[in-house]
């Protein structure tokens, strides 16, 4: 019985058709699904740009409140950038194991949560720590959002859609400056990071509902399950 069952499993596993995913995508027109993926990734990158650039607009108010000398500005600014670099390096390989959708959501949750915590920072040390951890999420979100957008686009339109999606970062950075100019005089510097922390957490359910998993990751997992079942 076990021998027959093994033969059946091997036959079924070998019967799984091989699909050239990229050729299939290239043969299709860009439709609502691709625009949906690009829009969700653009929103993610928009908030990434907002939170990355926001430190430049709130630093003066932070320095006044905490009596921070200009010589200490460097660590505060660079903490987020160092975290961003580490996040890009670490969460890229993690996405290969867990999937890009999962990592985009994880990164969004990380930079949203720690931006909110940064808004509650009581001193310079806490501020640096929270900005560093927020930077880890920021670094993981952008490359995986770009990769997801590129993956679902036909090659003939890929560069255009990725460039349009990536402009979300610039718009987010510009929005941080415009919002800070309005919010800080009335509500203080913390209000900018309240917005920068809450909006990513609001985006999470939309990512969960409508952001697809990497199609290449799904194919790799499917083949891995087929091989495991075969043996």
In this prediction, residue 223 has a pLDDT band, given cuts at 50, 70 and 90, of low
> How high does pLDDT run on average in the chain?
88
Q: What is the pLDDT of residue 231?
A: 57
pLDDT of 7 reads 44
Give 20-72 pLDDT, tens digit per residue: 666 667 667 888 888 999 999 999 999 999 999 999 999 999 999 999 999 89
Q: What is the distance of C-alpha 181 from the center of its chain? A: 26
| Residue-range domains of the chain with CATH | 32-230 (1.20.1250.20)
What is residue 39's predicted lDDT score, i.e. its pLDDT?
94
Q: Name the phi and psi angles at 29, rounded to 5.
A: -80, 155
How far is residue 53's CA from residue 61's CA, in Å, rounded to a whole number?
15
Q: Is 19 helix (H, G, I), strand (E, B) or coil?
A: coil
pLDDT at residue 40, as a whole number? 96
Cα separation, 48 vs 170, whole angstroms: 10
> Which residues fall within 8 angstroms of residue 76, CB to CB, at 6 or more apart?
55, 59, 62, 68, 124, 127, 128, 131
Predicted local distance difference test score (pLDDT) of residue 214: 85
For 145-182, the pLDDT digits (tens) are 999 999 888 888 888 889 999 999 999 999 999 999 99
Q: In the predicted model, is pLDDT for residue 8 greater than 70? A: no
pLDDT at residue 34, as a whole number:
87
């Amino acid at each position: 019985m076990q021998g027959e069952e093994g033969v059946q499993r091997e036959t079924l596993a070998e019967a799984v058709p091989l699909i050239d995913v990229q050729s299939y995508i290239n043969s299709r027109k860009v439709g609502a699904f691709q625009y949906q993926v690009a829009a969700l990734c653009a929103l993610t990158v928009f908030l990434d740009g907002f939170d990355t650039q926001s430190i430049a607009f709130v630093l003066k108010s932070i320095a006044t409140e905490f009596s921070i000398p200009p010589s200490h500005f460097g660590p505060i600014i660079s903490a987020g950038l160092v975290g961003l670099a580490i996040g890009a390096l670490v969460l890229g390989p993690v996405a290969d194991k867990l999937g890009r959708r999962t990592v985009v959501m994880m990164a969004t949750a990380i930079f949203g949560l720690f931006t909110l915590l940064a808004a509650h920072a009581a001193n310079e040390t806490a501020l640096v720590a929270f900005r560093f951890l927020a930077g880890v999420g920021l670094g993981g979100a952008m490359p995986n959002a770009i990769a997801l957008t590129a993956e679902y686009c036909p090659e003939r339109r890929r560069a255009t859609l990725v460039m349009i999606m990536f402009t979300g970062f610039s718009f987010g950075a510009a929005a941080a400056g415009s919002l800070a100019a309005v919010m800080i005089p009335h509500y203080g510097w913390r209000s900018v990071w309240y917005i920068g922390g809450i909006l990513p957490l609001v985006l999470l359910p939309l990512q969960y509902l409508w952001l697809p998993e990497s199609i290449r990751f799904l194919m790799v997992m499917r083949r891995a399950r087929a091989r495991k079942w075969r043996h």
